Structure 1
């Protein structure tokens, strides 16, 4: 059996019969977990264990565990600072900021791996122009080099813990004000302008070994009339051919408002996969997921399967008890203690949780 090109969600903290039916379908290759799927560490480990046992090779399990206001699992997990915290530290102590970003990446990934989660959709590589509320403090910095340096450090920390990184939102979501969850953002800059700024951290991260990217639900009309996640120009011509990227490409959630430009859900999934995505996300609409499972007709290449296989988590301490006994984890916790605690992000509602994704 091989993994399919769809990533779906599940209803709650335990699998239902409908969840099992959907996840066992040949078209499904992954599961994304949200805050509603978590009550405590033991429950999460049991849930991921059951999901992984459904298929061979096991389904990929991903989550948005960025830090700050986008952290799906909180109670029983380390509070992770927003990425802007590292950018602020970068302004005065860049080497220290890189070290702290790597330690945070290790904690993020090692805790997820200890609970059976394969990877996180992180880090955010968008530039902070001060314009986008949905990006905001999720971005490291406004300077492309700072974003790369800090993003690479985060990626290396995740790799230390056996986890691949997924940079988002290619080729850059930070310049636009509109939120793609509820609107269709338009970025009218030229390709030359985007290449000189927002694309820089993505390009450098790819050269440094980034395993996956997630394209933005943003239209860049000077380049193509389709959002990047539906665009052959962005994904095949620019990403695959010009940037020579051979990692996995995950669509953003196709239930978001900005994805509606591609039509119904079957049309959206088809458009994303044909444009060059390796896996398409359908979140929080089980009725639409059923429609896709019943009607999707797609020629899914072996190369996509190979790329996704690399996203499986690597061996790591299998429980939090074992993880806490390691010097690496204890040192990392000590190094980031108190980082970002003066932020108010613990009291913020995650703006992406209402419709699942960011």
Structure 2
């Protein structure tokens, strides 16, 4: 189920291939559409949605008709219908690649499902992907995951999530404090309390900063209680759910984006921050850490480590004007490497290499 922000990549890919089509597993629900997750908006590539434009029973003849095409499947287990598609691609001996994150260790599963996945999923996954021409691995975590499944490193291509630059005008009014921003679900996996505890420690030494929290989730009441009991009402603000367009505006006005997740397959918000010239503080368990050069365009801290994130926040707060200028230069360098056209060209090269059309394995531009 491709996300709405992948449409930029699909639009660029359609320029390279005469026959290019995106198949969605299903439409987004109303909640996601309200946040801007609507792939049905006008786009410049052909697409179909299973259940609406393409019934399950028509998938078999569809794949057989397109058996000479190369297919890229988003994940192994993410959507049951895509799991079925991978089986068919193997049976029909059709060229395909897998585009996937690593397995989410925090995903809620029943006890029975955990047991089944532990003892069966690895074996099934190996059988399903053994004939894949390649794997587009979302971050080092997915790369290691597929290596553990026995995929040769030559067939693993590092990838991520990328979108077209969405530059927003940054207000030039003089700030009285440093603006920190968190964007994400208020759930345990996002590590929000690691950040809040660091803010509490920082408040003992600094008062010239403010944290805005965008998002909602089951920890909302706990967070409100923490803010109140620690007397941080002036330093921390809960903004709730905001649509994607306005989130982009908040990112553009921030000084530092913080992604403290205990695990995140990637974190597209990191791309958007960098594209708007905003530094990033990210945990070492987020895939998008690959875009951060320690102390140059941001900072990386050990997940769940309050002391480490506090130290990195302190480092950012105490940056001199010259150091901030140098950091901005490094951010611009990274932006050149995650430009959607550069990334698309790299993806096309990955597909060509997987099909033995070129001999030299391409290197991800953001890792050079």
TM class by shorter-chain length?
Answer: 0.3 to 0.5
How does the TM-score come out when normalised to structure 1? Answer: 0.33
Between structures 1 and 2, the one with greater strand share = 2
TM-score (norm: length of structure 2): 0.33
Answer 1 or 2: higher relative contact order, Cα 8 Å, separation at least 6.
Answer: 1
